[in-house]
């Protein structure tokens, strides 16, 4: 059993306009055809659990033409579902679908609000999701850079504060030397 959902499906051939195929692919009158999704289920001893992965997605057009995309980064524990805002062949969406054939290089495909679960589906509902978000998202990266800059400013300010104490002590010593010299 396989659970699959996506809010939107868009395609583009070469440099032509994007086609929104959401209604044609996901309408209540037309069930979703998942037969062109290649899935695998593998046990990894390092994690001690089964993981499912989407190995490839094929796009059939003109009745017999096929564009196959490899999906090496679409995976999750078998007890979970996999969710991603964009599963796409476009670089701006991290290109999780890589062209596997020459025909596929001419196509771009994007699933929006993509979620899939395979092999451990119970009661027709998705299990808790494993998100595709990487560790270094732009927001996290900017937070790290900002923290580094603030840390450097703080270190410089502390250095200057310590340096100012030494200057103040030197002034006191010089004034006391001048006063003792004036007394003689």
Domain membership of residue 176 as a residue range: 134-184
CA atoms 138, 134, 74, 116: torsion sign: negative
Same domain for 115 and 140? no
> What's the mean per-residue pLDDT of the chain?
83
By C-alpha distance, which of 93, 85, 57 is closest to 72? 57
Same domain for 116 and 153? no
From the number of C-beta atoms within 10 Å of its C-beta (0-12, 13-18, 19+), residue 130 rates as: middle
| 81 contacts 116 by C-beta, under 8 angstroms | yes
Per-residue pLDDT tens digits for 85-124? 999 999 888 889 999 989 899 999 999 999 998 877 878 7
By C-alpha distance, which of 93, 99, 20, 19 is closest to 56? 99
By C-alpha distance, which of 15, 18, 6 is closest to 109? 18
What is the model's pLDDT at position 97? 93
Same domain for 38 and 110? yes
Same domain for 22 and 75? yes
pTM, full prediction: 0.67
Number of structural domains the chain divides into: 2
Per-residue pLDDT averaged across 155-164, rounded?
Answer: 87
């Amino acid at each position: 059993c396989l659970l699959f959902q996506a809010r939107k499906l868009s395609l583009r051939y070469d440099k032509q306009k994007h086609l929104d195929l959401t209604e044609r692919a996901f309408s209540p009158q037309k069930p979703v055809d998942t037969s062109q999704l290649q899935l695998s289920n593998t046990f990894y001893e390092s994690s001690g659990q089964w993981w499912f992965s989407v190995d490839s997605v094929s796009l059939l057009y003109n009745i017999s033409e096929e564009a196959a995309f490899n999906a090496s980064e679409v995976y999750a524990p078998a007890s979970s579902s996999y969710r991603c805002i964009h599963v796409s062949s476009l670089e701006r969406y991290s290109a999780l679908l890589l062209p596997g054939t020459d025909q596929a290089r001419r196509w771009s495909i994007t699933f929006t609000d993509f979620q899939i679960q395979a092999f451990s589906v119970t009661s027709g509902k998705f299990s808790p999701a494993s998100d595709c978000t990487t560790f270094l998202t732009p927001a996290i990266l900017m937070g790290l850079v900002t923290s580094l800059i603030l840390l450097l400013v703080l270190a410089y300010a502390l250095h200057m504060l310590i340096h100012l104490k030494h200057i103040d002590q030197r002034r006191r010593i010089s004034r006391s030397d001048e006063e003792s010299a004036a007394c003689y």
